[in-house]
Chain A
Amino acid sequence: MAPIQLLINNSPHEVEVDPDTPLLWVLRDKLNMTGTKYGCGMGLCGACTVHLDGQAVRSCQTAVSSVASNKITTIEGLSVDNSHPLQKAWIAEQVPQCGYCQPGQIMSAAALLAKTSRPSDQQIDSAMGGNLCRCGMYQRIRRAIHRAAGEGA
């Protein structure tokens, strides 16, 4: 096990793990960055969504050895003080219930808004379709994305 260098939320980290280990478990168990959630381990629920160079990926399906050259952003890197327009919109629309899926939802939404500043409902459906919310807060998620888009996320 050779050490692997990672750049997460603009901070360098070094971990010694099996290179096949999914990024999710490196974040959660090795670096104690528990904002990124485990939901299914198969890329079906989106709870583990992080950004690689701004693109939304499922960290449960991403081997840590494959991301040593990428810029990794997790929910903790979005803002520390809830100042990101999506976080503000999520609070304004009172989106979360249990809240477990929300880091993944917000990371998917952030990647969407980075590409499409004013997404249509259809574009939201297509970008957010991989993120399950068992509390069913979908209409609030949609409203919050529109709200954040209006405020220039």
Chain B
Amino acid sequence: MAISRRNFVVRSTVAGAGLLVGLRFSGPMLLSQESEKAKKGPVNPFDAYIHVHPDGNISLIVAKSEMGQGIKTGLAMILAEEADVDFNAVSVEQAETRPDIYEHMGTGGSGSTMENFMPLRRAGASVRELMITAAAQKWNVPKTECEAKQAIVRHTKSSRHATYGELVDAASKLPLPDPEKVPLKDESQFDLIGHATPRVDIPSKVNGSAGFGLDVRVPEMVFAVVARCPTFGGKPLHFDASKAKAVPGVRDIFEIPALGKDMYTAGGIVVVADSTWAAMKGREALQIDWDRGPAASESSAILRQSLRTAASKPGKRIRNDGNVDEALPSSAKRVEAVYEFPHLAHATMEPMNIAVHARAGEAEVWAPTQSPDWVQRTVAKLLDLPSQNVIVHTTLLGGGFGRRYMADYPAEAAQIAKVVGKPVQLVWSREDDMTHDFYRPAACHRMRGAVNQAGHPLLWSHTITSTSIGAFWGSPDKLEESEVGGAKQMPYTIRNVRLEYSAVPSSVPPLWWRSVEHSFNGFAVECFIDELAAAAGRDPVEFRRGLLVKPANWKPKDEDDPDPARLRGVLDLAAEKVGWSKPLPKGKGRGIASYHSFGSYIAEAAEVTVTGKDFKIDRIIAAIDCGQVVNPESVRAQAESAIIYGLSAALKNEITIKDGAVEQSNFDGYDPIRIDEAPPIEVHILKSKEDPGGMGEPALPPAAPAVANAIFAASGQRLRRLPFQLKT
């Protein structure tokens, strides 16, 4: 490959600062990312994204993690579109962990497409431009007479053509075009973007050949598990390894200390063995006395009370329009509701794991991670190596949902690898994964509202309390940062609106869980607007429509402020597709919720049948405006997935704490939705020329409130606590 580095910077202009909606890093993480960015050298698209080999083979490089969202396909489609290469003939490869090349390697916040859409279009277009220039120079003809298609440049007048492989040597020596000025295709010329395209990772996922983290096999590799204290913040007092050492296959047993801020590992007793099974058997045979630590008395029951108490008191004022305390007319109908949300585990199908080989002066890591650059820095720090001496291979991820952003399991593996000196795979059992996750915060929301006799809302008061993610990251002035999104931007036009937030301390480590705070704020906002509609005696769709007003001079108040017209657009589409006005038989009900998060607008309508204490979701309709679509197939799939993930939480899942430890340890106590419980889902996508929005998360928040509102319509029962439990 005749490729040289040159002075080329792919600038992220389309999404810029606003790309990590809902996943705002604070504290050390942000600083480290900033410093990586500052160190970042110039990027050449031939180096970074499009490897053209002289034999004509072309590889497209994707610098985001594939965890099922189809990003490997989507980002490669963007490159292929503008570079004019045959998508069926290219290979798509995972990028090396090179934060010096790739601006931001973390995959989260539904941001990969938003963040990369324009930079990758420009990178692709630059390659195409360079190929045309190289061909024009070779043939001594004007560039304007040359055309590129399917990785071939043609000069029709003279019937000449050259492949990208033939041109790459000359093309890569040309000065790079200004990425801001390189000609881009008009949307009408798109052959790939916006067209349903089969995912490149799927063939390997139907025959067992797909390589997940847990599938990494390196010669001489050994396997390790860690016995961690069941309580958060506890540690081993002393342990007896004699029985464990007698287990056939067990090689070594030693203690690793807990690592604090930025790594958040529990520490514990490591068992290294010839096989995963031997390591697990060895761990079972350990005898450990635990110091259960400062949080040994924490319980969900107490936490629930603390949250309820905090929600009844004033918090930090986040939004205050008009005056919610102004006197109401005596005829006004008041509505109050308290919504409660439990802790939740991510429960990816592939439990946490990672393989690390520490060698003299360098290390190699095989990581199913959403943040390979953070893994690299973490392992480097623990092994006293410069970051660039740590090679991190990002494997496929058996689910991520936010959990795999963390560097705890990489940190543990680095501690172990340092002792073992051989390639070692750290395996978390399902029990480890469920009891030492970082959990969706538990929350309590107190809502107060009123409607006048004409059925118009007079006030909206919302108090959120939760176990703050910001508090966990040590940002005392930003406790509300990952807790209020979507509630702050409550889109309905009401004169008096107040939002307050207060954090409740907990030893249960919190984290971004698919859709972060929108997972509870979407529920509170969309259920309470439904409660106000009912109090007003108005139809829930008409009521919302009337309050989604877009003034002529409308401008977003902040980067997450939804456009009321786009929200109304999806609301109308969902209502139309579900047949909102068609009557339903007794016992059945229809509910709706429309919500904006991560740059996308999604309305969902649910139909349910309620029979006594039981209910069945008959179907879900989703209407989506996610701006310019890259791969409609992936948009559909992500919507289906986020809805089921949200419904698992709405219908079944709850993590509870007793005596400082998680009570659920496997899929018996925390059982996600199964095939017989999964409703049919119908997805409708609005055509849009707006900037791309995210799709990994935003279909989740409307799912639970749509179902809760449908259950109300069917039964008159308001479900205000998750997971749902109907009364007879």
Residues of chain A touching chain B, judged by Cβ–Cβ distance below 8 Å, are 1, 17-18, 21-22, 25, 28-30, 32-42, 44-45, 47, 74-76, 78-80, 82, 86-87, 90-91, 94-103, 106, 124-126, 128-129, 131-142
A134 CB → nearest B CB, Å: 5
B675 touches A125 (CB 8 A): yes
A102: chain B residues at CB < 8 Å are 205-206
Q: Given A29-B275, A42-B668, A80-B207, do A98 and B676 touch, yes or no (CB 8 Å)?
A: no
A101: chain B residues at CB < 8 Å are 349, 398
B637 contact from A38, A47, A100, A137, Cβ within 8 A: A137
With CB as the reference atom, state the residue of chain A lying closest to B247. Answer: A18
Q: B603-642: which residues lie under 8 A (CB-CB) from chain A?
A: 633, 637, 640-641
How many angstroms between the C-alpha atoms of A128 and B677 in the bound complex? 12
Q: Given A22-B277, A47-B349, A138-B644, do A99 and B207 touch, yes or no (CB 8 Å)?
A: no
Which 5 pairs across A and B sit closest by C-beta, in order of nearness?
A35-B208, A136-B644, A100-B398, A97-B68, A99-B205
A29 touches B223 (CB 8 A): yes
How many angstroms between the C-alpha atoms of A137 and B643 in the bound complex? 10
A34 touches B666 (CB 8 A): no
With CB as the reference atom, state the residue of chain A lying closest to B274. Answer: A29
How many angstroms between the C-alpha atoms of A41 and B281 in the bound complex? 12
B275 touches A138 (CB 8 A): no
A94 touches B637 (CB 8 A): yes
B202 within 8 A of A: yes
A76 touches B399 (CB 8 A): no
B430 touches A41 (CB 8 A): yes
With CB as the reference atom, state the residue of chain A lying closest to B196. Answer: A94
A136 contact from B199, B347, B641, Cβ within 8 A: B641
Q: Given A29-B223, A98-B396, do A139 and B680 touch, yes or no (CB 8 Å)?
A: yes
Q: Mark B210-228, 1 if CB is under 8 A from A, else 0.
A: 1010110100000100000
A39 touches B399 (CB 8 A): no
Q: Given A40-B430, A42-B666, do A34 and B208 touch, yes or no (CB 8 Å)?
A: yes
How many angstroms between the C-alpha atoms of A92 and B397 in the bound complex? 22
For the complex with contacts A28-B276, A39-B349, A94-B633, 12 further pairs of A-B residues with Cβ separation under 8 Å are A17-B275, A34-B215, A44-B666, A44-B667, A47-B349, A94-B202, A95-B202, A131-B675, A135-B68, A136-B644, A136-B645, A141-B675
B248 within 8 A of A: yes
Q: Given A44-B667, A98-B67, A139-B681, do A87 and B349 touch, yes or no (CB 8 Å)?
A: no
Q: Mark B177-201, 1 if CB is under 8 A from A, else 0.
A: 0000000000000000000001101
B201 contact from A33, A41, A99, A134, Cβ within 8 A: A99
B682 CB → nearest A CB, Å: 10
A138 CB → nearest B CB, Å: 4
B206 touches A96 (CB 8 A): yes
How many angstroms between the C-alpha atoms of A135 and B347 in the bound complex? 11
B678 within 8 A of A: yes
B347: chain A residues at CB < 8 Å are 134
B203 within 8 A of A: yes
A74 contact from B203, B204, B208, Cβ within 8 A: B208
* B: number of interface residues (CB 8 Å): 64
A96: chain B residues at CB < 8 Å are 68, 199, 201-202, 205-206
B396 touches A94 (CB 8 A): no
How many angstroms between the C-alpha atoms of A99 and B397 in the bound complex? 9
B166 within 8 A of A: no
How many angstroms between the C-alpha atoms of A37 and B347 in the bound complex? 15
B351 touches A136 (CB 8 A): no
With CB as the reference atom, state the residue of chain A lying closest to B347. Answer: A134
B401: chain A residues at CB < 8 Å are 134
B640 CB → nearest A CB, Å: 6
B255 within 8 A of A: no
B277 touches A35 (CB 8 A): no
B320 within 8 A of A: no
With CB as the reference atom, state the residue of chain A lying closest to B221. Answer: A29
How many angstroms between the C-alpha atoms of A128 and B429 in the bound complex? 23
B209: chain A residues at CB < 8 Å are 35, 76
A98 contact from B274, B348, B673, B678, Cβ within 8 A: B348
Instruction: Report 24 cross-chain contacts, Cβ distance below 8 Å, ordered by A residue.
Output: A29-B223, A30-B275, A37-B349, A37-B350, A38-B214, A39-B349, A39-B667, A41-B429, A42-B668, A82-B207, A90-B206, A91-B203, A91-B206, A96-B202, A96-B205, A96-B206, A97-B70, A99-B210, A100-B348, A101-B349, A125-B675, A136-B641, A137-B637, A140-B640
A135 touches B223 (CB 8 A): no
A119 CB → nearest B CB, Å: 12
B69 within 8 A of A: yes
Most chain A CB within 10 A, of B206, B208, B666, B667, is at B206
B674 within 8 A of A: yes
How many angstroms between the C-alpha atoms of A89 and B675 in the bound complex? 18
B315 within 8 A of A: no
A134 touches B277 (CB 8 A): no
A34: chain B residues at CB < 8 Å are 208, 214-215, 217
B222 CB → nearest A CB, Å: 10
A94 touches B198 (CB 8 A): yes
How many angstroms between the C-alpha atoms of A17 and B640 in the bound complex? 43
A34 CB → nearest B CB, Å: 4
A78 CB → nearest B CB, Å: 7
A125: chain B residues at CB < 8 Å are 675-676
B207 touches A75 (CB 8 A): yes
How many angstroms between the C-alpha atoms of A44 and B664 in the bound complex? 14
B397 contact from A21, A47, A98, Cβ within 8 A: A98
Q: Given A29-B223, A42-B430, do A100 and B212 touch, yes or no (CB 8 Å)?
A: yes
How many angstroms between the C-alpha atoms of A38 and B681 in the bound complex? 29
With CB as the reference atom, state the residue of chain B lying closest to A124. Answer: B675
B212: chain A residues at CB < 8 Å are 37, 99-100
